[in-house]
Amino acid sequence: MLAEFATLPLQFDTPLAGELFLLGRILFGVTLAFMGLNHFMDLETMAGYAEFKGLPAPQFSVIASGAVLVLGGLGVAAGAFPVVAAGALAFFLIVSAVTMHDFWSVDDPEEKQNEMTSFLKNVYGAGAALALLAVGGTAWPYAVGIGLF
């Protein structure tokens, strides 16, 4: 017999819950925004890697993914458009994990390990973004509070 799960509304009324949620959003969002800035600061190198991985329009792909990371990361950190920000980040991280960090097709052991690390980084980042997406329609403490939903 399976246990029944009850769904409770998201609550931030326990001590420091809102502050810890804000800190988690800042750590997650600002880190991704910084990674997005790197897309712009090292555009040529990253576009070369994207081309090596077979992405169409590699320079555009790097610019677009940098924009998603910067805007999505800042959106999550600030609590602005949280559903859009977290959803875009989750989608990007899942897609880039599979397309850019396909460790299963790499023969060199060192390169394989680097790709696996990047793949796993994207997967756990996508998990965090999906968790934020799940609560994106609720009121976040210490948030700008603007959004579409």
List pLDDT tens digits, range 39-60: 999 999 999 999 999 999 999 9
User: Does residue 114 belong to any structural domain of this protein?
Assistant: yes
Task: Examine residue 7 and state whether it is found in any structural domain, yes or no.
Answer: no
Q: Are 120 and 100 in contact (CB under 8 A)?
A: no
What is the number of structural domains in the chain? 1
**147 confidence band (pLDDT: 50, 70, 90):** confident
Say what the pLDDT of residue 3 is.
65
Task: Count CB neighbours of 84 within 10 A.
Answer: 17
Residue 100 lies in a domain: yes
Domain of residue 47 covers: 17-135
Q: Is the pLDDT of residue 148 over 90?
A: no
Does residue 85 form part of some domain? yes
Sign of dihedral through CA atoms 78, 79, 80, 84? positive
What is the tens place of the pLDDT at every residue in 2-40? 667 666 677 788 899 999 999 999 999 999 999 999 999
Say if 105 falls within a structural domain.
Answer: yes
Residue 1 clears pLDDT 60, i.e. is over it: no
Tens digit of each residue's pLDDT (9 = 90 or more) over 94-128: 999 999 999 999 999 999 999 999 999 999 999 99
* Residue 13: predicted pLDDT: 83
pTM confidence score: 0.91
- Inform me whether the pLDDT recorded for 129 exceeds 90: yes
**H, E, C per residue of the chain:** CCCCCCCCCCCCCCCCHHHHHHHHHHHHHHHHHHHHHHHHHCHHHHHHHHHHCCCCCHHHHHHHHHHHHHHHHHHHHHCCCHHHHHHHHHHHHHHHHHHHCCHHHCCCHHHHHHHHHHHHHHHHHHHHHHHHHHCCCCCCCCCCCCCCC
